[in-house]
């Protein structure tokens, strides 16, 4: 009989921070390519990326039964390359090293090689997708065991990473924030895509032959996690940012968009996306119910 792991809030934070870090580095590489003069935003992404991932890894180690008491046990994760966790360790290790090297070079005012940014961005994508695959391989949980989950977590990771960097820009570097309009327009569509993916995920899960799939969906839509799902994730994390950014990017006058008021509105939007990104992981982890396996008595 196979027993599936059940995780809690700490793992939700780990999944959120790992994806956020990958998305922040991708954002930094994007800005360097399209707006190389925005050095403060580039550096903000390079600081956020390794910092939040390292914090997430510390939370993961603290949550593990071995934890800090037997850290060498984590080395064993590198012995099974048929495991998602093994590949996750590889992606995370390479990403953190690359992100730290890029950050140190930046802080020393030395040129960061283009190939290093590309490698970091690729590893960031791998880390973001891995956070969904980590849950997706758990076959006993219909809400997790779908190919849509890694895609959803990848889109959410890029969205939260961009939101974190743009939030720093709106608060601390408004001049640079006003120049990255293409990035803001791209970022606008991510919550829309995320909403479509979530709807598809819930539909597929509810149609699962087991009762656990429908029960998990109902826990989100009208059960214990309904308030978090509708209020914090859908309204605060998706709808509100979409409405605000739609107004700021396409309907507001240029003078409002470039004003301190406009930057504050954008900051509120980005903060909402960060809240929604964490709540997404929390409700996906917490609302998933396992399939009940009944074994006949051995006679």
Q: Could you report the per-residue pLDDT of 112-134, keeping only the tens digit for each? A: 999 999 999 999 999 999 988 88
How far are the Cα atoms of 35, 121, 246 from residue 272, in angstroms, in the given order?
25, 24, 15
Q: Is the pTM of this model over 0.85?
A: yes
Average pLDDT over residues 53-58: 92
**What domains can be seen in the chain, in order of their start residue?**
9-287 (1.20.1630.10)
CA angle 124, 129, 132 (to 5 degrees): 140
Average pLDDT over residues 81-89: 75
What SS3 state is found at 94? helix
Both structure tokens of 248: 């700021």
Contact 203, 79 (CB under 8 A): no
Q: Report CA torsion sign: 155, 200, 279, 185.
A: positive
Predicted confidence (pLDDT) at residue 286 exceeds the cutoff of 80: yes
Contact 284, 135 (CB under 8 A): yes
């Amino acid at each position: 009989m196979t027993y599936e792991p059940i995780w809690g809030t700490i793992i939700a934070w780990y999944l959120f921070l790992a994806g956020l870090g990958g998305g922040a580095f991708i954002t930094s590489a994007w800005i360097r390519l399209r707006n190389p003069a925005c050095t403060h935003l580039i550096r903000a992404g390079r600081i956020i990326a390794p910092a939040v991932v390292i914090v997430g890894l510390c939370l993961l180690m603290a949550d593990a039964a071995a934890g800090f008491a037997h850290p060498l046990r984590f080395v064993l994760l590198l012995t099974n390359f048929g495991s998602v966790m093994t590949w996750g360790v590889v992606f995370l290790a390479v990403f953190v090293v690359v992100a730290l090297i890029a950050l140190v070079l930046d802080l020393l005012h030395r040129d960061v090689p283009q190939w290093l940014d590309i490698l970091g961005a690729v590893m960031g994508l791998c880390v973001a997708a891995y956070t969904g695959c980590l849950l997706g391989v758990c076959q006993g949980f219909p809400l997790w065991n779908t190919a849509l989950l890694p895609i959803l977590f990848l889109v959410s990771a890029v969205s939260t990473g961009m939101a974190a960097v743009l939030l720093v820009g709106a608060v601390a570097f408004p001049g640079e924030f006003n120049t990255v309009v293409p990035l803001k327009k791209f970022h606008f569509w991510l919550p829309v895509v995320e909403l479509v993916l979530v709807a598809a995920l819930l539909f597929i899960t509810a149609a699962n032959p087991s009762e656990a799939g429908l029960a998990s969906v109902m826990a989100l839509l009208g059960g214990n996690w309904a308030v978090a799902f509708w209020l914090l994730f859908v309204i605060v994390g998706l709808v509100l940012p979409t409405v605000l950014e739609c107004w700021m990017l396409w309907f507001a006058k240029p003078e409002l968009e470039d004003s301190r008021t406009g930057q504050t509105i954008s900051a509120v939007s980005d903060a909402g996306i960060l809240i929604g990104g964490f709540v997404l992981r929390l409700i996906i982890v917490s609302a998933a119910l396992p399939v009940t396996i009944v074994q006949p008595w051995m006679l």
